[in-house]
């Protein structure tokens, strides 16, 4: 665990939450990317020794507070998400950008689907089509966030 990547990672998470909270016009609000998910993915992918499963608890709880979901919902989805990223990150390193985007799409969709299932078990979730918008937009922000964090000193296996 390196202090430097921890600080950069937390800063990135902070901005992830800022963007997550950013008020969006109704029209494109449906497409608001899962910023925190993307950042968490990237952190776990780029600095797996610093950011691991533990990140699921604070990030998940804050996401629950942010989205006013039942406490633990996002912890659950985040834990599974981080586990899958850790499972894939070796392969993701040799993937090109489009393959990475494909992985992010699958992961984001799974995250959304889990959220949807959990919400449906516990409440009435609006509409299943809501799953797709954020997942798709998350895929398209992935390369940018990836490139941005690559500019920092955050490097693989720190």
Partner 1 sequence: MPAYQGQRTLLVCLLALALMWADQNYSIVQTLRFAAGYVLYPAQQAALIPSSIAGWFSELGTARQDLLDENRQLSARNLVLELKAQRLASLEAENAELRELLSASEQVDDKVLVTTVVAIDPDPFSQQVLINKGSENGVFIGQPVLDAYGLLGQVVDVLPFSSKVMMIADSNHAIPVQINRNGVRAIATGTGALDQLELIYVPNTADIKEGDLLVSSGLGGRYPRGYPVAVVDRVEHQAGQMFASVTARPSAHLDRSRLLLLVFSQGAGKVPSKDLWKGAR
Map residues 96-115 to x or -, x wherever contact with partner 1 holds by CB under 8 A.
--------------------
**Please, where are the H alpha helices in 70-131?**
73-94, 97-122
The whole-angstrom separation of Cα 34 and Cα 25 is 16
Map residues 22-61 to x or -, x wherever contact with partner 1 holds by CB under 8 A.
xx----------------------------xx--xxx-xx
Nearest approach, Cβ of 13 to partner 1 (angstroms)?
A: 9
Which residues, 6+ apart, have CB-to-CB distance to 33 below 8 Å? 19, 134, 137, 138, 140, 141
Q: Among 8, 64, 108, 111, which residue sits at the site for partner 1 (rule: CB under 8 A)?
A: 64
Stretch that binds partner 1, among 76-84, 94-102, 125-133, 146-154 (CB under 8 A): 76-84
12 touching partner 1, by CB under 8 A: no
Q: Which residues of 11-25 are buried (b: 16+ CB within 10 A; e: fewer)?
A: ebbeebbebbeeeee
8 touching partner 1, by CB under 8 A: no
The whole-angstrom separation of Cα 82 and Cα 45 is 9
Nearest approach, Cβ of 156 to partner 1 (angstroms)?
A: 15
């Amino acid at each position: 665990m390196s202090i430097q990547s921890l600080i950069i990672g937390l800063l990135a998470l902070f901005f992830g939450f800022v963007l997550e909270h950013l008020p969006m016009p109704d029209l494109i609000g449906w497409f608001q990317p899962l910023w925190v998910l993307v950042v968490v993915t990237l952190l776990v992918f780029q600095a797996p020794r610093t950011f691991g499963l533990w990140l699921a608890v604070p990030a998940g709880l804050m996401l629950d507070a942010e989205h006013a979901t039942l406490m633990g919902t996002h912890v659950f989805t985040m834990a599974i998400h981080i586990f899958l990223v850790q499972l894939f990150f070796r392969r993701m390193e040799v993937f090109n950008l489009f393959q990475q985007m494909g992985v992010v799409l699958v992961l984001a969709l799974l995250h959304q689907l889990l959220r949807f299932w959990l919400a449906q078990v516990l409440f009435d979730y609006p509409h299943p089509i809501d799953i797709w918008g954020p997942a798709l937009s998350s895929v398209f922000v992935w390369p940018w966030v990836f490139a941005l964090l690559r500019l920092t000193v955050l490097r693989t296996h720190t």
